[in-house]
Amino acid sequence: MKSGNEKPRLNILLGSGEEELDKVFGKYLSETFQEEYAVSSIAIKKYTSSEIIKISEKFNFDIFIILLNNIIPTDAFNRDLNRTAEVYEILRYLKKRYQKPIIGLYGSALDDIDFEKKVLKAGADYCYLVPFELDVLRQAVIECLNKQKTL
């Protein structure tokens, strides 16, 4: 139970498959939200679709931030999906199971001209092409937190 001056926790799953990028995002988010929240970010080391599911089941995340291009497909859904289809399936799974905000990032559209639209339809609340200004990420997290407060 929280005492009167204890900050609420903000648990973030960071998935990029790139250790340095996870460190940058983790540090930025921690510093940005430290006044209001006790920020904890967990980066996925083995960046496969199966590992994303496994880690999401171990921790109570408030927000998922996922670099979609770097997910290594592992047929986590036992349906022989191609890489792009498995990305959409992971997003649908996370949204349906946890009902938490998802920020999807991508460096290329994985051979699908409607990639961003499909990412949003699959469950991401926001979808951004990398690189982008970190302030864009900050604003997306703020909007996700505000949406969560109204639920």
pLDDT per residue as tens digits for the range 31-43:
999 999 999 999 8
What the chain holds in terms of domains, given with CATH numbers, is 9-150 (3.40.50.2300)
Q: What is the DSSP letter of 5?
A: T
In the block, which residue shows the tokens 């998935």?
15
Q: Given pLDDT bands bounded at 50, 70 and 90, which one contains residue 1?
A: very low
Structure tokens that stand for 89 in this block: 């399936």
Q: Does residue 3 have a pLDDT over 60?
A: no
Task: Work out the angle between the directed axes of helices 19-33 and 134-150 (0-180°, nearest 10).
Answer: 60
